[in-house]
């Protein structure tokens, strides 16, 4: 009897499954596809499956049938295919769930962002916005002044809107050309201010036009949002660590 030569090349094996194995794989994958379709049927309302959507349903069935056939004749084992199908199905379900609950998720994301960045605030409606207190108990408000982002510190002791030198220069004011004719008494002593007018101050959905302001000549750390600006709003309310402002 001839001893087989270990170095002799073996005839290539058929890469495709044989008839019975192919049929079994087709049955298993067909059942999996049917379960997926049944799950989609239960997820969506009957209106989704009306005659008007028949073309899209036929297209999706054709794509699904092609994928089942391609997987059936592939070299992958059923276990490997099950893992991949499960992964893609989980991704599909996450996408569908995210789209279905996009409004709720958007609200949750907004509240998380407001807590992490309290100065951004959370719009309540088309006329109101709320700001949680910062870690130091102060209320900071991100606004847009004439198209430039400016962060203000709420200061009910300030007479009006007060810009520090840095923010004034960012807004395009030439400090050397301003007239510092106003006098202010602050915690750090008396300082001077220069009157200016801002075309627009936007805080979320709130827009206030032609705002009288002052540029502080001293070393003011943060620009201030004071009483004269707040008086132009319909409501300013602080309750349970949340500042709410509203415009008519």
- Segment among 42-51, 200-209, 214-223, 225-234 with least mean pLDDT: 42-51
Q: What is the pLDDT of residues 60-76, one digit of tens each?
A: 666 666 666 666 666 66
Is the domain defined by 119-246 classed in CATH 2.40.70.10? yes
**Collapsing DSSP states into helix, strand and coil, what is residue 145?**
strand
- Checking if the pLDDT of 38 tops 50, the result is yes
Q: What is the pLDDT of residues 151-188, one digit of tens each?
A: 999 998 888 899 999 999 999 999 999 999 998 877 66
Model confidence band, residue 3 (pLDDT cutoffs 50, 70, 90): low
Q: Are 217 and 195 in contact (CB under 8 A)?
A: no
Question: What pLDDT does residue 156 have?
Answer: 86
Top pLDDT among 136 and 209 is at 209
Q: What is the pLDDT of residues 98-151, one digit of tens each?
A: 666 666 555 555 555 555 567 888 899 999 999 999 888 999 999 999 999 999
Domain residue spans in the chain? 19-100, 119-246
Top pLDDT among 27 and 52 is at 27
Top pLDDT among 127 and 36 is at 127
The encoded tokens of residue 136 equal 């130091």
Question: What pLDDT does residue 192 have?
Answer: 93
State the DSSP string of 34-45.
HHHHHHHHHHS-
Question: To the nearest 10°, the Cα dihedral for 60, 61, 63, 66?
Answer: 170
Helices vs strands, H then E, count in the chain: 6, 11
Question: What pLDDT does residue 111 have?
Answer: 57
Q: What is the pLDDT of residues 219-243, one digit of tens each?
A: 888 999 999 999 999 999 999 999 9
| Strands in 82-139 per DSSP E | 122-123, 128-132
Cα torsion 148, 235, 135, 204: sign: negative
Distance, CA of 65 to CA of 40 (rounded, Å): 16
Question: What pLDDT does residue 246 have?
Answer: 95
């Amino acid at each position: 009897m001839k001893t087989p030569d270990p170095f002799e090349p073996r005839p290539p094996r058929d890469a495709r499954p044989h008839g019975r194995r192919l049929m079994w794989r087709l049955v298993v994958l067909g059942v999996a596809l049917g379960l997926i379709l049944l799950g989609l049927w239960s997820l969506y309302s009957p209106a989704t499956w009306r005659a008007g959507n028949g073309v899209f349903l036929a297209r999706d069935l054709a794509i699904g049938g092609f994928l089942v056939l391609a997987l059936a004749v592939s070299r992958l084992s059923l276990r490997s295919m099950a893992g991949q199908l499960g992964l893609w199905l989980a991704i599909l379900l996450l996408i569908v769930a995210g789209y279905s609950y996009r409004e709720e998720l958007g609200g949750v994301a907004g509240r998380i962002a407001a807590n992490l960045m309290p100065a951004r605030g959370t719009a309540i409606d088309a006329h109101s916005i709320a700001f949680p207190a910062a870690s130091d108990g102060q209320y900071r408000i991100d606004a847009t002044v004439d198209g430039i982002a400016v962060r203000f510190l709420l200061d009910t002791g300030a007479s009006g809107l007060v810009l520090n030198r840095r923010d004034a220069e960012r807004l395009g004011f030439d400090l050397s050309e301003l007239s510092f004719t106003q006098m202010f008494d602050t915690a750090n002593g008396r300082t001077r201010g220069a009157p200016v007018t801002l075309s627009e101050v936007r805080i979320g959905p709130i827009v206030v036009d032609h705002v009288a302001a002052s540029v502080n000549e001293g070393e003011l750390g943060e620009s201030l949002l004071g009483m004269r600006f707040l008086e132009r709003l319909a409501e300013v309310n602080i309750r349970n660590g949340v500042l709410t402002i509203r415009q008519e």
